[in-house]
Copies of this chain bind each other. A is one copy, B any other.
């Protein structure tokens, strides 16, 4: 390769890696030779010498959780755009497996790690240890204070958007169907509801049912709260909302006529449910961009700066599940009864109204 371009191996290296200025002529010759010979630099050798693999580890709790595919998509695209490759690990919600994967990724000399911790507490040690070795950004979920940089949606702002919307559309007997635990999504959404619900109705802040982030819990929760005849169910994520919606329909309730249902995350299923579920959309592309920005900052030498906790503002997506209650007694099919909803024969069940992000918060943790 050096021979083919008529210069030294060092020059070839400098052209291809762009580490140092090279004569324009020489550079062109080298590139031509590379093209001709189909030369591909050996990343293993490069990694060995330069102590950087151009590789980032992505550790997820459960790829089958419908929120993560979109995140993975944005992250891989963002990282590939800067020439990095992504090593993926799925730890099946098991912090022990997670620790093993993190260990393996470090042995493979990833330049950095992106971690969505499986468990707020039990992931902490492994994450903290890893963060001491390479730049590490926590995503979506926290892992205790002071562990690493983190990027997540502003759960409080999201919940506020929901409560404002419900207030504006006249809902008063609101219940929160959330998840137990100290994980950030569960705790923050719960707290934000408790803090904001009093505006709707003085009792609303206390009307809270807690389970986990699953469809099954959504179904079960309806049985717990339905006899209190709520006019809105604020669910802590979309899976819960899907379950609640199903059970309400089973019971013959009209959504949104009798009761509104809202979710959180805007997973694909939220749009596809019938009626479509009003939810809080996480700014996934922005989350990915922010995470890679933090990573690059650390990789570029900001090793010892203060830890950053970036919170991005979400957006409310209004769909039929929280639409206006029919003034007259409509037909039994709820959302189907709303007139003017249909623009064409086979259109999506309804157009979503989007309330844009009101603010963006960034600051030390």
Contacts and interface: CB of A to CB of B under 8 A. Distances in A.
B272 A242 contact: yes
Given A332-B332, A346-B220, A109 B43 contact: yes
Contacts of A223: 345-346
27 contacts: A41-B107, A42-B109, A43-B108, A43-B109, A44-B47, A48-B48, A55-B87, A58-B88, A63-B73, A64-B73, A64-B268, A66-B268, A72-B90, A77-B92, A80-B101, A85-B108, A87-B87, A88-B88, A216-B348, A219-B346, A219-B347, A246-B274, A246-B349, A249-B333, A268-B269, A269-B272, A332-B332
A76 interface: yes
A343 interface: no
A48 B43 CA distance: 9
Interface in A39-71: 40-45, 47-48, 53-55, 58, 62-64, 66, 68-70
A47 B104 CA distance: 15
**Copy total for this chain:** 2
Contacts of A336: 249-250, 252
Interface residues of A, number: 63
Contact of A109 (B44, B54, B68): B44
A162 interface: no
A106 interface: yes
Interface in A198-229: 215-216, 219-220, 222-223
A171 interface: no
Interface string A329-365: 0001100100000000111110000000000000000
B63 A69 contact: yes
Nearest to A52: B44
A105 interface: yes
Contacts of A333: 249, 252
